[in-house]
Amino acid sequence: MFKLEDIEKQLPTAQPRKPGAPTALGGIRVVDFSHFIAGPYATMMLADFGADVIKIEAPAKGDDFRHYPPTDPALPAQGASFFFANRNKRSVALDLKNPAALALVRELIAESDVLVENFSTGVMQRFGLDPETCLALNPRLVYCSVPAYSRDGEFADRPGFDPVVQAESGFMSMNGYADRDGVRALSPVMDIGTSLMVCNTVLAALMARGHTGKGQYCEVSLFDSAVAMLGYAPMQYLLGGVEPQRNGNVSPDTSPSGVFHCTDATFYVNSGNDRIFERLVAGVLQRPDVAADPRYNNRVGRTRHRDTLFPILEEAFARQPWAHWRDKFREAGIPSGEVRTVPQALASREAAARGLVTRIAHPQAGWVPNITPPPRLQETPVVDPVVAPALGQHTQEVLREVLGCDDARLETLRQAGAFGAA
């Protein structure tokens, strides 16, 4: 278990990028009005690729996600959940209900390439920051909205969070055991899936701008993304009338695929085709009789006769520890893995080999944990990680750098309440 006070001892520092290497999105500026996960995780990916992401937050409180537990008294408004989705950004605290602050925001939008927002429908319009207004102000702007359902039509007013769309999209109905209610995924899979869609959509719009010279309005909804996250299940139903059923840890399509037990661990084996089954049973388990059995020598038969096949495998696996089976599986090319807890996964050799868990500098705490982003670009590597910002940490820096504000203007803005109450 990694402990905050022991991070410097337990975790390596993040691997620095190649000196002098360009970034994929160098020179791109993003004005980020998003909060929680679906928007912020997407803009963090853009920041990892080198974009200058300016996170616009309300003074005093900021993004609600700043306050999600666990938090540390030494790190006000910078909980673990906020660190997860806001690396490599700059925070500007502005009171959008204040006319002077709104004027600043419009200036920032005019100097930016991308705007991302996931407010409730109508909020940006009330601020006078709707797509039509912003694109008129900056025709090269890529304006991306991330609603729960849509920005127009029958369901535009509906709010939504990850577990709600897990329920409504059919995702929950596919997960768990047949004799119980469907189960939500604890991980915010729909938020993260939507983030990937948002990042791809923004990148596609930026590429299109390179051809047309013009920006555009984009929309990626949480519900639409949730339906996409159902995988091939919708097509199986639409083409073949096959409605997904809850299968617990086994697969409806392949067998034997599921959770098994050895003397000291639980593990998952995925026999995706007949060749893998042959290697598993005839090779690893030394049971050619089972491999040749007409009930089991094809995928359909193994799925139909799972109830008699699995006990044979369980009995064999129960004779040896995981280390024995792990090596045998790897040698035979059997897709398999130990069922781990999150702490075990983070401390695993696989995570260490990829440098997935590191530490990065923090001005108050000294160091905080960091999860390395998955993309590995050889010529334009992701930027060196910078910890998620304190609320309003970069307000004056951004206004000076992007808008050329001097001390006199900053003081006038402060007195006008643009930065919130004194």
- Beta-strand relationship, 266-270 and 336-338: antiparallel
CB 387 within 8 A of CB 360: yes
In sequence order, which residues have a C-beta less than 8 Å from that of residue 121 and are 6 or more positions away? 147, 150, 151, 156, 157
DSSP string, 338-402: E---HHHHHTSHHHHHHT-EEEEEETTTEEEEEEPPS---SSSPPPPP-PPPPTTTTHHHHHHHH
Give the mean pLDDT of the chain: 95
Q: What is the mean pLDDT of residues 382-397?
A: 97
Q: What is the mean pLDDT of residues 167-188?
A: 97
CB 64 within 8 A of CB 35: yes
pLDDT of residue 247: 94
Phi and psi, residue 420, nearest 5°: 95, 180
State both tokens at 72: 């540390």
- Sign, Cα dihedral of 203, 163, 270, 253: negative
Give 52's strand partners: 29
pLDDT band at 421 (very low <50, low <70, confident <90, very high): confident
How far is the C-alpha of 334 from the C-alpha of 311, rounded, in Å?
Answer: 19
CB atoms within 10 A of CB 136: 10
- Beta-strand relationship, 89-93 and 52-57: parallel
SS3 170: coil
Phi and psi, residue 297, nearest 5°: -85, 10
How far is the C-alpha of 338 from the C-alpha of 268, rounded, in Å?
Answer: 6
Reference 61, options 108, 96, 109; nearest CA is 96
How far is the C-alpha of 246 from the C-alpha of 242, rounded, in Å?
Answer: 13
pLDDT of residue 6: 67
Please tell me the pTM assigned to this model: 0.95
Phi and psi, residue 144, nearest 5°: -120, 120
State both tokens at 90: 């700059």
DSSP string, 295-355: TTSSHHHHHHTHHHHHHHHHHHHTTS-HHHHHHHHHHHT--EEE---HHHHHTSHHHHHHT
DSSP code of residue 122: T
The percentage of residues in the chain with a pLDDT greater than 90, rounded to a whole number, is 92
* More confidently predicted of 3 and 173: 173
Q: Set out the domains of the chain in order of their start, with CATH numbers.
A: 4-231+356-416 (3.40.50.10540), 266-338 (3.30.1540.10)
Q: What is the mean pLDDT of residues 93-107?
A: 97
pLDDT band at 9 (very low <50, low <70, confident <90, very high): confident
The tens digit of pLDDT for each residue in 35-65 reads 999 999 999 999 999 999 999 999 999 999 9
Q: Is the pLDDT of residue 285 over 60?
A: yes
CB atoms within 10 A of CB 98: 17
How far is the C-alpha of 349 from the C-alpha of 390, rounded, in Å?
Answer: 33
* Amino acid, single-letter form, for residue 54: I
Q: Is the pLDDT of residue 8 over 90?
A: no
Q: Is the pLDDT of residue 377 over 60?
A: yes
Q: Is the pLDDT of residue 181 over 60?
A: yes
Give 219's strand partners: 145
pLDDT of residue 5: 62
